[in-house]
Each structure stands twice: as C-alpha cells, then as structure tokens.
Structure 1
Amino acid sequence: MANSEPKKQHYVPQFLLSNFTQGKKKRLHVFDLKSKTSFVSHVRDVGHENNFYHHSSNGNQMEFALGTIETEVAPIIDQILNEETVANVTDQQREILCYFTLVQILRVNAVREMLTEFSQLMLDEFVDEEVEPNSQAEALLKQLSAANSKETSIDMLWKTPEQLLPHLMNKHLSLLKAPKGDSFLLSDNPVVKYNNLHREGRGNLGLALKGIEVHFPISPRFCLCFLCPEIVQDIRNKVEHHHLEVVLGGKPAQDLTEALKLLNQIDKKTTKTITKEHVIHHNSLQIVHCTRFLYSSKGDYSLVNEMLEYNPNLTNKIRLQKQ
C-alpha cells in the first residue's frame, strides 16, 4: 500500500502563497538570497521541505494539525481580501486568525536557526569545562544540537501559540493596503515584528513589550497589522490632553489631523492605504527577517538588490549575538 503521509511539508501554507500568484497556473516569482537569483515556480514546489514536521516520537502529527488550522483560517483571510476590510471579522474569527499568526511565527526555519545558534552559544560556554557524567550539564549538552532544534521547534508548536495568544489578541487588528502600482513581498518568514521603541542592551521584539507591531502580508495588496494598544492609548491621551489645554488653558491649537485619522481608522477598523515609502518599509522587514526565499507576484526585486548591495551579510544572517 502506498504511503499516504505527505512528504512535501510547507512552512509557508500553499493557500497563502497562492494569493501571491498570477494566472490560473498558481505560479509565483521567487528570489533566492543565497544565490542572488530569481525564478518562477508553482506554489506546491516552494515554501516547503521534505518531512519538515516529522518528529521521532509522533511522526507527522504536526503536519496534519497544521492542515486543520489552515482549513479554519483560509476562509477568514479570503473574506478579508474579498471585503477589503477587517471590520466584519467576528471575535471567534479574530481568535483563529491570531492563533494562526502565532503558529506561522513559530513554524518556520528562522526559529530552528535561532535555536541552533542558541545551542552553539551554550556549547561554547562548556568548551573548556569538565562536565560530570549524569549531571544536568551533561543532559543539557546532549539536548543542544542542530538535530534537536527541529524537534524542539515542533514541540513548541503544540503549546506556545496558545500561551502567546492573549498578547496578540490584546492588540488592535487593522488592514493596510498598498497604493496602486506597489505591492507587498512575502518571505519564508512572513510574520515580522517591529518596534520603534529602543531598549538599550536588550531585545525589543517580544510580543508583550510596549511598542511592538506585528505585520503579516496576506496578498500583494493587503497586509494585516497588529498594533500595540499602549501606543494607541498614548496617542489618545495626548490628543485629549491637547484639547483640554486649548479649551481651558488658551493654548494655540495644533494640527492633529494624522493622529485623529489614525484613531478613527483603529476605532472603525477602516482599511488604510499606505504610502509607497511605507510599502518599502514593510518589504524591507520581509527581506531582513527572511531565511532564504522571497516571494512576489510581480518579480520586481529592485529593493532586494539595493539592500544586498548595501549589506551583503543579508545572505548570511546571525540571529543571536553573544554579549
């Protein structure tokens, strides 16, 4: 009897890749950062590795679990694209969308690379150390390996999304639209985090940190954005405080048009058409955070080439730095 278990296992779902194709043949443009070349491919042949989710203890259970999640979320994303708004997304749909977004953050090669780098940093600490047999240190060393990074990342997928869900549900969901003539790129690490607030000597991309935004392109024209509620509340407080100063203190009124537009867009969940410069910003995040492959509906990789010329190290990322 033929083996019915899937061999090609996608870390970027085919339904999402299909949104970036043109024509009926489901083909899209792909850029390989390592070889600095581009090609055209069918969605079934990109964004995957053979047996990517195969685990020594439970086989391909994760692959089947991910298929169930994708079946639930695909109609929600189709609805958003067809209606061009998130205003009609129900609370239950929003929870499914947030859960899928967190799963997508964790299911990619970038996570495995980070785990492997962390393992190597830890191993380097024991280079000149004598480790006692049957000790906790010895057990840790056995766990720290590139092979184990795969299974660790799969184990994380079973429990971590649910643990992180409250942090993403707490954010304001909005939809961004690219202006005519511009389009969003997608990468093999498609959900990216960004924070304008700098934390000296510490990372600033944790989901619970103030200022964190989560960006997720779902088509060449549209990108989901999860905004920090604390930043939105800060803007709201400043607007209200300024109005009080004008009314009670006689201070001259300032132009708050942009702040009011932002608050109105968030409150009414209206879709925001962003500028060309903002599209470049979003696409640059996809390029910086990708592992190797970028996907495009148009095949325009001028921004990628510019960034590679400025920083050739984009082809050889180091995700963790020893302090």
Structure 2
Amino acid sequence: MSNQHPKKHHFVPQFLLNKFSSDEQLWVMSIEQERNLPYKASVKNVGHVNGGHRMTKADGSEDWTTLEASMAKLEGAASLAITQLHEDKSISLVSRELKEPLAWLAALQRARSRTFLGSVAHLLGEAPNEEELKNTQFELQTSLLRAGPWSLMGKWGVRVVTIRFP
C-alpha cells in the first residue's frame, strides 16, 4: 500500500460542512479550549481527526483507507439525496432511494461520533497513567471502529440490514 493516503479523517462529512460554509469557510468555536473565541477555518480543517478512521489489520499493519473508502460511498449517496431534496422542492422524502442513504448516514454519524467514541474509550480504556493510555489508544480506537462504523459499513455495502420506514 502506498503511503499516499488522506490523513484527515472527517467525522463530519465535508459535503455537510459545505452546506453551512461561505466560500468553503466556516466560523467555528473550539470546545476544547477554555476561552472559546470564534475563528474562521476551512471546511477541510474542521470536523476531522488525523488518522481517526485508521485500523490495525490482523498482521499488525495500519489500514488508513478501507473504512474511509467505504464511508465515502455512503456519503456520496447521501449527498446526492440531499442535493435532490434541496434542488427540487417538489420532491418529498417518500422514495426509498432518498430515505435509505439518509437513514444510513444518520446511523454512521452516530457510530462515529467523537463524543460517543470518546466516552466509550474513556470508560474502557482508563489506565493508571496517561502514558499507558496513549500506548493503548490506537488499539482501542481500532476496536471501537470495528464494532461501530466498520460493522455498519459492511451492512451498508451488502444491505444486509433492511431499514423499515413507516
């Protein structure tokens, strides 16, 4: 595998961020800083974690692309549905072709939520000191990604799970 792969793994799809941007720029506020002052940032530089979707393979090597590529397919389908709904006001959210990718995207967003993953990681990965936690964080991330987004993307790919709509 080539070392040329995306390093910024967006947990908020860029197509959604662009819906709220002006010239691909957003006003953002960091929730991690004590003084929460707004600043302008590029869509490409928010809503991501470097290597946030990489996983460890059985042979110990890192996989930076498989989960990202799978999520890109789902995000592409959801983006098309959102674009159709936005551009043609006469379309209602009736057709399965529009509902299905949006439902799967909602499930994916829940599964890869940094708040959710972080809280689970905190509960499962508590270590006696910070250095031990840093050493296990990537392994824990791999486990959480396999249980959440990876499992979900496998089902999306083959549509094993049928989403029922009222």
Quickly say closer, same or farther: Cα 1:118–1:78, change in 2 above 3 A. Answer: same
Alignment of structure 1 residues 191-206 onto 2, 5 Å:
none
Highest relative contact order (Cα 8 Å, sep 6+), 1 or 2?
1
1:6, CA displacement in angstroms? 0.8
1:148, CA displacement in angstroms? 3.4
% of aligned pairs identical? 20
Say which of 69, 74, 96 aligns to 1:69. 74
RMSD (Å), alpha carbons: 2.9
1:111, CA displacement in angstroms? 2.2
1:13, CA displacement in angstroms? 0.6
1:158, CA displacement in angstroms? 2.3
2:63 is equivalent to residue 59 of structure 1? yes
Alignment of structure 1 residues 19-38 onto 2, 5 Å:
19-22=19-22, 25-35=23-33, 36-38=36-38
Which structure shows the bigger proportion of residues in helix conformation? 2
Work out the CA distance in 2 between the residues paired with 1:16 and 1:62.
19
Which structure 1 segments of 5+ residues have no match?
125-144, 172-323
Quickly say closer, same or farther: Cα 1:88–1:105, change in 2 above 3 A. Answer: closer
Quickly say closer, same or farther: Cα 1:11–1:85, change in 2 above 3 A. Answer: farther
2:88 is equivalent to residue 83 of structure 1? yes
The residue identity in structure 1 corresponding to 2:149 is L
The residue identity in structure 1 corresponding to 2:19 is N
1:88, CA displacement in angstroms? 4.8
Which structure shows the bigger proportion of residues in strand conformation? 1
2:112 is equivalent to residue 107 of structure 1? yes
Work out the CA distance in 1 between the residues paired with 2:30 and 2:110.
20
Work out the CA distance in 2 between the residues paired with 1:31 and 1:86.
35
Which structure 2 segments of 5+ residues have no match?
129-135
Q: Indicate the structure (1 or 2) with the bigger Cα radius of gyration.
A: 1
Matched-pair contact (CA < 8 Å) for 1:106–1:153 = no
1:151, CA displacement in angstroms? 1.0
- Describe the superposition over 1:144-195 as per-residue Cα deviations: whole angstroms up to 9, x where unpaired: x5443311221021224749x65x6446xxxxxxxxxxxxxxxxxxxxxxxx
2:151 is equivalent to residue 159 of structure 1? yes
1:28, CA displacement in angstroms? 0.8
Question: Please, what TM-score do these two structures have when normalized by structure 1?
Answer: 0.40
Quickly say closer, same or farther: Cα 1:170–1:148, change in 2 above 3 A. Answer: farther
Quickly say closer, same or farther: Cα 1:89–1:82, change in 2 above 3 A. Answer: farther
1:62, CA displacement in angstroms? 0.3
Quickly say closer, same or farther: Cα 1:79–1:150, change in 2 above 3 A. Answer: same
Matched with 2:133 is: none
Matched with 2:131 is: none
